Structure 1
Amino acid sequence: MMHIYLSALLLCFSRIFPAILNAPIDLNLFDIIAKLQSSSEYSTFSASEIASELPNQHPELAERLERMLTVLASYSLLTCSIRSNEDGNKERVYALSSIGQYFALDKDGGSLGPLSALIHRGYHHV
């Protein structure tokens, strides 16, 4: 279990990955996916299903989110699989991985999200 936490912590200190990590943190994507997983009979969700939970909607939101989710999956923050939708088309679906769970709020309200933001944005407003 400690190696999973260390993997998540290393992503916070990455110099290559911060923009793509901080965007979903700012959008609360990890919390949204965790909430969907805990309140639904399904455990994986498409980009459009996740996008529908975001407060600001626009026509390209799901498409943009899809690109972000794919990168997060490539860093093992999410799992990605393929399912057939109602139209019979294939779509990617995502879920929080064990590493990604460290970026969602836990039962005590803690997360690695603020640490990542602090490291990459600093604390100039203090």
Structure 2
Amino acid sequence: MDSHSQHAMQLVSASLVPMVLKAAIELGVLDIIHRAGPGALLSPSQIASQLPSQNNPGASLVLDRMLRLLSAHSVLTCSVSAHQVDHVEVLRLYGLAPVAKYFIRDQDGASLATLLNYCNDKHIAGDMFVRIPKGDAIFMKDKQWVLHLFDDKHCLMILKNCYEALLDHGKMMVVNLVIPEAPETSLSAKSLFQFDMFLMNTTTSERERTEKEFESLAKQAGFYTIRVACSAFNFSVVELFKSM
């Protein structure tokens, strides 16, 4: 099988990776390994013994298959050794790869794991569509990133109200994902495009936007120009300036 056909096969089953990762997080697998200490390596049976439910006698075998997949995607590390009792068996020990820390809650309770449970709840103050208190700066940040929850029509309503609320020479700052104009093969671009599809699967009104699409909406709302000030972990701070 050539590399292109292998890639095609991987794409066909790509949805399994977030499904398995979500299941591992909900079972507390990453937390169990994390609690074992830095550099810890645990066997599937050791992890299974600490699961909340002990009703499945085949849990360690199921876990081993799940954790192999996550190791292949560099979420976990895997050390393989031969283990002999009555016959030779392969023993796999699993640890946390560097990326795993982003799926374990930090001291503030934050984690990328929440994105795996993304839902259609909108905790948006109703007065955003009516009136926003005046100020020289507006910082729009929400755990569900306000603007991508709405179509262009409703985004424009919000931006116009923000424009009217800003004092002269004021600016608005929006924390949001900004997708590339053209398809790219970088990990960052793939993540952005995949999350855009994630939103489309929720409702067709939700979408990520390119920098030019943000600029078009901003100028329709009255803003002079925009600037992507900085980006980190696929999130960007977009500044919208009321005037020169």
**TM-score, structure 2 as length reference:** 0.39
Partner of 2:34: 34
Partner of 1:109: 109
**In 2, Cα distance between the equivalents of 1:20 and 1:90?**
22
- One-letter amino acid matched to 2:60: A
Farther-moved stretch of structure 1 (15-24 vs 70-79): 15-24
Partner of 1:21: 21
- One-letter amino acid matched to 2:44: A
**In 2, Cα distance between the equivalents of 1:86 and 1:52?**
21
3-state DSSP of counterpart to 2:98: coil
Judge conservation of contact 1:102–1:112 (CA < 8 Å) in 2. Answer: yes
Higher Cα Rg, which structure? 2
**In 2, Cα distance between the equivalents of 1:37 and 1:89?**
26
The Cα RMSD (Å) is 2.4
Alignment of 1:52 onto 2:49: yes
What's the % identity of the aligned pairs? 36
3-state DSSP of counterpart to 2:94: strand
**In 2, Cα distance between the equivalents of 1:85 and 1:102?**
32
Please identify which structure carries the higher helix content. Answer: 1
Partner of 2:65: 67
Deviation at 1:89, TM superposition (A): 4.5
- One-letter amino acid matched to 1:65: L
**In 2, Cα distance between the equivalents of 1:101 and 1:51?**
20
Query: Residues 114-125 of structure 1 correspond to what in structure 2 (within 5 A)?
Result: 114-118=114-118, 122-123=119-120
Matched positions, count? 106
Deviation at 1:83, TM superposition (A): 3.3
Which of 80, 85, 109 is the aligned partner of 1:82? 80
1:60-80 CA-partner distances (Å, limit 9, x unpaired): 000001000001101100000
**In 2, Cα distance between the equivalents of 1:89 and 1:25?**
27
**In 1, Cα distance between the equivalents of 2:60 and 2:113?**
22
Q: Which is bigger in relative contact order (C-alpha 8 A, separation at least 6)?
A: 1
3-state DSSP of counterpart to 1:25: helix
1:10-59 CA-partner distances (Å, limit 9, x unpaired): xxxxx623211211121121111111235xxx710100011111011121
Deviation at 1:110, TM superposition (A): 1.8
Judge conservation of contact 1:45–1:94 (CA < 8 Å) in 2. Answer: yes
Farther-moved stretch of structure 1 (24-33 vs 59-68): 24-33
Partner of 1:96: 96
3-state DSSP of counterpart to 1:105: coil
- One-letter amino acid matched to 2:67: L
**In 2, Cα distance between the equivalents of 1:100 and 1:66?**
17
**In 2, Cα distance between the equivalents of 1:62 and 1:92?**
11
- One-letter amino acid matched to 1:83: S
